[in-house]
Chain A
Amino acid sequence: MTQATIVASATDFVRQKAALFSPGDVLRALGMPIVGILAFLFLWHIAAQNVATSLGTLPGPADVAHQAGNLWADYQEQQQRAAEFIAMQEERNAQILANNPDAEVRIRSFSGSVTFIDQILTSLGTVMAGFLLASLIAVPLGILVGLNRHLHQAVNPVIQVFKPVSPLAWLPIVTLVVSATYTVDDPMFSKAFITSMVTVSLCSLWPTLVNTIMGVNSVSQDLRNVSQVLRLPFLTHVWKVVLPSSIPMIFTGMRMSLGIAWMVLIAAEMLAQSPGLGKFVWDEFQNGSSESLGRIMVAVIVIGMIGLLLDRGMLFLQRLLSWDKSTATH
């Protein structure tokens, strides 16, 4: 796909979206969802008062909003302390250098407590890395397998067996393998990150793989005949005929994979105590203060919203890159 067509489809997309935004349409489009959300908050509010837990009643929407504010304030406070810490060091270094220009100075990074926002960023980074790794394996492999009937028959049982395996089963194996093999002196990534990433990849590559194979299988015989008549070399055939033809299916698979990746990551982080949102939830659970339940609920809502945003992001990408716009709806 050329840059021009990407730009063209992007402007198309924006134009379509802009056309949606007449005031009446906005009201109609937002009206019912707002009613739904308000009704949900109301029911939650009523129900929460009647559910007792060992940490008091279940927090209602107001408590959760309050905790969200607290978590944000924590983050800002840490940011400020970090800035102050750095500023202090810079000042001190300047003094040292003023006294002795040859002195070696350095700045230590601030190691304050890990905030909720840090955990979100860690999780996002891990899920993107894991998903990327999964896609880099699944798409080329899917194309190869899809093109060769014998290879497909050979690989299929393996796929069918590993596809339904839960992340919790992969995790111990991955952890052990990573801790034994990933022994670099000055590691760029932490072991926890590698473990989470590999687990996410292992669990999420299957939908992309299966869909890519299906997409390649369903390249129409007519188009394959055209390719044969033209005697397209293998790579040209893949690049010009097979790949564009199966792009809609590949994207469908990748969207499913990303959804799975996000769910798997949270579970893996909880279990392995790797940094991220999962660890945040687990820590709060272990913490057991009166605020913990509220904080966990903030995390649950944030996890859901991020999952939604990831899905929308993939959809946007699909609309941008796929020639078949009809497959890129909701």
Chain B
Amino acid sequence: MSSNKPHLELSSVSMQFPVKGGVFSALEDVNLKVTKGEFVSLIGHSGCGKSTVLNIIAGLLQASRGGCLLDGREVTEPGPERAVVFQNHSLMPWLTAFDNVELAVRQVFRKSMTKQERREWIAHNLELVHMGHAMDKRPDELSGGMRQRVGIARALAMQPKVLLMDEPFGALDALTRAHLQDSLMEIQRELNSTVVMITHDVDEAVLLSDRIVMMSNGPSATIGEVLPVPLERPRDRVALAECPDYNHCRQSVLRFLYEKQQKITPMPRQGEGQEAASGVDKRQKVLA
């Protein structure tokens, strides 16, 4: 947290989706301020609108009411200064790791870098995520964890003001996930990036975040509680297991999720009509 002036600001964001016979209110009055260099996690049960919040920041969705400001300017469309790491890597399957990053780098630094500088920058970013050895491999030749690393490298290579991550490690096995979490902490410390990450995983949220934003259940989901994580960095997962502060944070989040926002019935699938109409992928939709 390098300054107190808000870098990214969501003010009274509401989101409604038209459904058969009415409107489905996904988000209601979401307010959030993120400072530069801060790592914020969004956590909540599935269907609470976490992904909707992220997509509004990304500009892939437009809020029905309220809006999102980045450095004082309103977000109206997607752009590379708000790079997204998607849940399922979203790499072009026909391009190598290098070419996937190159697609982004060429677009963002077309004018400001020479071809040689761009090559070095791409290689640098792939090495940052420890993928320097597999730059010429295509996604189908890489493991799930390696693909996600390339996805992160692509996002980092855009030099975004805010890095948005939609359950980046959700589809990975526990060991790979731990590995990538450590890499991410290392990179974030080095670059001092602002990160907004969605997660389901309480340990992940506590380990990585400066603040954890806990969202209430939908419909009309909103921010329930915000928990600062007062743990020193760099953090070590093994040492933290015994740390009282860490366990206290964990407990707070668990209490919020499983006592205050306990899910009783499965969510009615109210978003379906809208899904077909907008063609937006289910995963990152209303109920995600």
Contacts and interface: CB of A to CB of B under 8 A. Distances in A.
Interface stretch (A63-71, A202-210, A217-225): A217-225
B108 A230 contact: yes
A193 B263 CA distance: 72
Given A222-B86, A222-B281, A225-B84, A240 B103 contact: yes
- Size category, B interface: 20 to 34
B86 A226 contact: yes
A241 B84 CA distance: 17
Given A221-B279, A221-B280, A222-B281, A229 B93 contact: no
Interface in A307-324: 323-324
B8 interface: no
Interface string B76-90: 011110111010101
Contacts of A232: 107
A240 B84 CA distance: 19
A221 B103 CA distance: 17
Interface in A175-226: 220-223, 225-226
A149 B104 CA distance: 27
A222 B107 CA distance: 18
A20 to B, nearest CB: 23
B60 A228 contact: yes
B94 interface: yes
Of A149, A220, A225, A247, the most chain B CB neighbours within 10 A belong to A225
A323 B86 contact: no
Nearest to B282: A221
B7 to A, nearest CB: 19
Contact of B78 (A225, A236, A240, A247): A225
B213 interface: no
Of A226, A236, A324, the most chain B CB neighbours within 10 A belong to A226
Nearest to A228: B78
B88 A222 contact: yes
Given A222-B281, A229-B78, A230-B103, A324 B83 contact: no
A100 to B, nearest CB: 65
Nearest to A231: B79
A244 B86 contact: no
Nearest to B164: A229
B285 to A, nearest CB: 10
Of A149, A220, A230, the most chain B CB neighbours within 10 A belong to A230
Contacts of A223: 90, 92
Contacts of A220: 90, 281
A244 B107 contact: no
A231 B80 contact: yes
B58 interface: yes
B152 to A, nearest CB: 13
Nearest to A226: B90
A232 B284 CA distance: 21
Given A244-B92, A323-B93, A323-B94, A229 B280 contact: no
Contact of B86 (A225, A236, A241): A225
B92 A229 contact: no
Contacts of A247: 94
B11 to A, nearest CB: 23
B90 A225 contact: yes
A240 B95 CA distance: 10
A230 B83 CA distance: 8
Contacts of B95: 244
A229 B279 contact: no
Contacts of B108: 230
Interface in A228-274: 228-232, 236, 240-241, 244-245, 247
A105 B60 CA distance: 74
A229 B103 contact: no
Contact of B107 (A149, A230, A323, A324): A230
Contacts of B84: 225-226, 229
B104 A230 contact: yes
Nearest to A236: B107
B277 to A, nearest CB: 10
Given A221-B284, A222-B86, A225-B90, 14 more contacts: A220-B90, A221-B279, A222-B88, A225-B86, A226-B90, A229-B58, A229-B78, A230-B108, A231-B79, A231-B107, A240-B92, A240-B103, A241-B92, A323-B94
21 contacts: A220-B90, A222-B86, A222-B88, A225-B60, A225-B281, A228-B59, A228-B77, A229-B84, A230-B103, A230-B104, A230-B107, A230-B158, A231-B77, A231-B78, A231-B80, A232-B107, A240-B103, A245-B94, A323-B94, A323-B138, A324-B93
Interface of B: 58-60, 77-80, 82-84, 86, 88, 90, 92-95, 103-104, 107-108, 138, 158, 279-281, 284
Interface of A: 149, 220-223, 225-226, 228-232, 236, 240-241, 244-245, 247, 323-324
Q: Which 9 A-B pairs have the closest CB atoms?
A: A323-B94, A221-B281, A222-B90, A228-B78, A229-B78, A244-B94, A230-B107, A226-B90, A229-B84
